[in-house]
Amino acid sequence: MPESTFIPTVFFTLFFVVDPLGLIPVFVAYLAPYDVAYRKKVIVKSTAISIIVSLFFIFSAHIFLRFIGITTGAFMIAGGILLFVIAMDMLLARPRRTQKLDDKDYDADTDIAVFPLAIPFLCGPGNIAALLMFSSQAQGDIVKLGIISVISAVTFLIAMIVMALAGRLQQMLGQTGISVTHKLMGLILSAMAVQFIINGLMQINIIGR
């Protein structure tokens, strides 16, 4: 990936995968039963956990993938396919697989900051796959890994702000506005996912550059 496009590609991919605007109804549903003080605590904690989990995958990806013998090209193809599936869910207005949680999946003693807000809503399979994909491309370059880390943290901080303002944003945007934004982000993510697959195929020399 050219240096000039690395930062915007990482940012928009992670932002679209986290999809904080599309998760507004989910945030409202899960946070509504609690008072303001507890909501703030949950929002900050879920954001912190998401950042910590993402940092773990960012800095362990290169070592792990080398250890099990997976090439960067192969992981770009796999990551692109997974991101394309997520994009199709967004375009077709299907709820994410990670959003299909019933009351039986957690009880009153479950810390919702950890589950389901941090994992899997904020830092789910798509986000982790994207982080692994970009980190493997960095090939251990500490500067690029640092850039990925900062961008990942920024996307979670944006999600934190959206969580804090979820009720107001839902009233302002309305269900139609949220749906349109969600689908537009899905369309762009699908195109980016296809490009990741093409780049992966180039890396393993299946198609020419």
Element (H, E) at 158: helix 142-164
Cα Dmax for the chain: 57
- Per-residue confidence at 193, pLDDT binned at 50, 70, 90? very high
Residue 106 domain flag: no
Read off the pLDDT of each residue in 81-95 and give the average, rounded to a whole number: 88
Give the mean pLDDT of 104-128.
80
- Residue 18 located in a structural domain: yes
**Is residue 104 a part of any domain in this protein?**
no
Model confidence, pTM: 0.87
Confidence bin at 64 (pLDDT 50/70/90): confident
User: Is residue 83 in a domain?
Assistant: yes
Q: Answer whether residue 143 is part of any domain.
A: yes
Pairwise CA distance, residues 18 & 21, whole Å:
9
Domain count within the chain: 1
Q: Give pLDDT, residue 195.
A: 95
In a domain, 134, yes or no: yes
Which structure tokens are listed for 46? 């879920």
Confidence at residue 62, expressed as pLDDT on a 0 to 100 scale: 82
Weakest mean pLDDT among 88-102, 111-125, 173-187? 88-102
Residue 54, both tokens? 């993402």
